[in-house]
């Protein structure tokens, strides 16, 4: 969880001050020429995202805007430094920055999050469309309902993009394919 520091409220706006996460957004990190993305690192990053979402869901909260921009790394990627053998990569298969520390991420931006009712009241809530279209589940896009499965859909899109080198399953040139299909 992102560490809360302070809250300020003014006449026109409110500001929440949190810890500084210097590592940048997920895709900003993995697309860096200095970062060697492997299947093991994808698996580790996805595992962290799933653990974070599992925690959120255990508190009966739906995020509803999971996307790479809302997944931030705690530590920045350091410039590569040559070692004696000329290699700076990790050999244990886990996601690590170039200093050998595991890439640790945090989920941010709960501005669209919704609470599920108390336990026993169901796992779905009625909802209007919210979130980022490219990562939005079909039921949310239909303004039907949202459930923990809605967040899992978004994670699936993120994982697909990670392992495909950034290719989106729903992007078709200048418009979203889903948007063209819905609007025409």
Q: At 33, is the pLDDT very low, low, confident or very high (cuts 50, 70, 90)?
A: confident
Nearest by Cα to 114 from 171, 57, 159:
57
Give the integer Cα–Cα distance in Å for 100 and 177.
Answer: 40
pTM reported for the whole predicted model: 0.77
Tell me what percent of the chain is helix, strand and coil, each rounded to the nearest 5: 30, 15, 50
Half-sphere exposure of 138 (CA within 13 A, CB side): 1
Q: What is the pLDDT of residues 145-172, one digit of tens each?
A: 999 999 999 999 999 999 888 888 887 6
CA nearest neighbour of 56 among 108, 18, 4 = 108
Going by their DSSP bridges, the two strands 61-62 and 14-18 should be labelled as unpaired
| DSSP assignments along 101-167, one per residue | PBP-EEE---TT-EE--STTS-S-B-----S-GGG--HHHHTTS-B-HHHHHHHHHHHHHHHHTTS-
The encoded tokens of residue 126 equal: 């009625």
Interval 109-127 mean pLDDT: 90
Q: Given pLDDT bands bounded at 50, 70 and 90, which one contains residue 183? A: very low
Give me the pLDDT at residue 85, please.
47
Q: Which residues are catalytic?
A: 65
**For tokens 């560490």, what's the residue?**
3
Query: Best-predicted range by mean pLDDT among 1-10, 54-63, 76-85?
Result: 54-63
Query: Which position has the higher pLDDT, 31 or 106?
Result: 106
């Amino acid at each position: 969880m992102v560490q809360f520091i302070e809250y300020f409220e003014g006449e026109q706006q409110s500001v929440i001050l949190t810890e500084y996460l210097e590592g940048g957004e997920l895709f900003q990190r993995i697309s860096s020429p200095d970062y060697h993305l492997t299947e093991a690192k994808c698996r580790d990053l996805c595992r962290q995202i799933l653990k974070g979402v599992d925690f959120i869901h255990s508190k009966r909260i739906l995020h509803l805007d999971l996307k790479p921009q809302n997944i931030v790394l705690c530590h920045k990627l350091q410039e590569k430094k040559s070692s004696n053998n000329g290699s700076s990569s990790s050999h244990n298969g886990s996601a690590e920055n170039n200093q050998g520390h595991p890439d640790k991420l945090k989920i941010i931006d709960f501005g669209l999050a919704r609470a599920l009712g108390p336990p026993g009241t169901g796992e779905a809530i009625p909802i209007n469309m919210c979130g980022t279209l490219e990562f939005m589940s079909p039921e949310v896009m239909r303004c039907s309902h949202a459930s923990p499965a809605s967040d899992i859909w978004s994670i699936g899109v993120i994982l697909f993009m990670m392992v495909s080198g950034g290719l989106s399953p729903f992007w078709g040139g200048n418009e979203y394919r889903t948007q063209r299909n819905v609007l025409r």
